[in-house]
Amino acid sequence: MRVGIFLIAAGFPGREPGQVLRDTVEAVVVAEEAGFDDAWIAEHHFMSYGVCPSAVTLAGVALGRTDRIGVGTAVSVLSARHPVELAEQAAILDQVSGGRFTLGVGRGGPWMELEVFGTGLPRFERGFPESLDLLCAALGQDTVSADGEFFRFREVPMVPAARLRPVVACTSPGTVALAAGRGLPMLLGMHLDDEGRAGLLREYGDARGEVHEDGDQGRGGAWGGGDPGHVAAVVGHVADSTREAVAELRTAMPGWLGPGLAGYVPVDGRPTPRRDIPDYVDFLCRTHPVGSADLCVERIERTVARTGLGHLILMVEGAGSQERTLETIRRLGAEVLPRVRNGKAPSSGRGAA
């Protein structure tokens, strides 16, 4: 069982973006001290939901401040980047960190970065497979060339070369099939409950034609071909009681999510999907590890049992302050991690109510 933290670099009201970025790096350092396996950093452009526009850059800073913990991007927006340029940056981090870096990529959305960076809506709408294949080639070969619709150039050497397998953010059957067809692990988002995660994992297995534990090909919950390294992001927040933990998130998160999610501005004027923010926060509190240490252990173990996932990353910024983020990381490390890893640590003694 691998457990990491997930850092959005969340721009809560009143928090200056530069300080948020410094706090994000500090959170990675504290997560290493607390015993987490890895830390994953999100990337967003031109918005307050997340104020880190280059996850690979901030990952490099975090890797330089730590010695053991893995650091990944969750995710670098591939539709807004040249795949070979991103591969070069990933190779640098892989080489200088001694293999502690993981590149997570996603298709992104039809947002303003497509216009600002000049990659354009067509590459978002139909160019993700070509971009992903070129990225994989650049991360798996000593030389790379392209002759496609969106990329065309003669063969060049990859200097430095790397042998990295990216993780792909998957929110739709099409992206699941794309990742499965290339044997790439998935990153599953916080908007899912256990049933939703299990459904995407089954779709992945179906696309791979794997034989599941129930003996049927392409059906069932767990697969017989081994864990491909999927990762799922969940909210993780611990307090002395579940009542207290839920109250903190219900108080803090709407003031961040409301204006933050409004920053998703479509490049072509299409309507932006709207979310009922209080209802979404209630969903996260009901289904994710939000509560006492005992409840957090129970929900992590339930997710693992229902999905077969072996790697969760916990979004720990939900209370909106750096003090509570670091306290949550330390308490999860002391009161939850040992118990979900080996089942031998005693109960925290704090109530679940």
Instruction: Please name each of the domains of the chain with its CATH number.
Output: 2-342 (3.20.20.30)
Between 41 and 351, the higher pLDDT residue: 41
Q: Which of 55, 29, 49, 52 has the alpha carbon at shortest distance from 320?
A: 49
Percent above pLDDT 70 for the chain: 92
- pLDDT-based confidence at 343, cuts 50/70/90? low
What confidence tens digit (pLDDT) does each residue in 119-138 have? 999 999 999 999 999 999 99
Distance CA 184, CA 49 (A): 28
The radius of gyration of the chain from alpha carbons, rounded to an integer in Å, stands at: 20
How far apart CA 283 and CA 49 sit, in angstroms, is 19
Quick check: 345 pLDDT over 70?
Answer: no
- For the entire predicted model, the pTM comes to 0.93
Specify the pairing of strand 167-169 against strand 186-188: parallel
**Half-sphere exposure of residue 7: CA atoms within 13 angstroms, side-chain side:** 35
Lowest mean pLDDT among 117-121, 208-212, 216-220, 313-317: 216-220
The pLDDT tens digits of the residues spanning 68-113 come to 999 999 999 999 999 999 999 999 999 999 999 999 999 999 999 9
* β-strand pairing of 143-147 with 101-102: unpaired
Average pLDDT over residues 9-20: 98
Residues 6+ apart with CB under 8 A from 245: 237, 238, 239, 285, 290, 291, 292
**What is the band of 210 on the pLDDT scale with cuts at 50, 70, 90?**
confident
Q: Tokens standing for 200?
A: 């995407």
Q: Token digits for 199?
A: 């459904």
Residue 223 has pLDDT above 60, yes or no: no
**334: pLDDT strictly greater than 70:** yes
For the chain, the distance separating the N- and C-terminal CA atoms, rounded to the nearest angstrom, is 27
Edge-to-edge strand list for the sheet holding 186-188: 76-77, 104-106, 167-169, 186-188, 231-235, 311-315, 2-7, 38-41, 70-73, 101-102
- According to the model, what pLDDT value does residue 228 have? 79
Question: CA angle 317-25-166, nearest 5°?
Answer: 85
> Tokens 């932006």 correspond to what residue?
272
pLDDT of residue 141: 97
Backbone angles phi, psi at 107, to 5 degrees: -70, -30
Task: Please say if the pLDDT value at position 227 is more than 90.
Answer: no
Cis check: omega of the bond before 340, within 30 degrees of 0: no
**Mean of the per-residue pLDDT values for the chain?**
93
CB neighbour list of residue 75: distance below 8 Å, 6 or more residues apart: 42, 43, 55, 104, 105, 106, 167, 169, 187
How long a stretch of residues is the chain?
A: 353
Angle between helices 322-331 and 17-34 (to 10 degrees): 10
Q: How confident is the model at residue 272 (pLDDT cuts 50, 70, 90)?
A: confident
CB 30 within 8 A of CB 330: yes
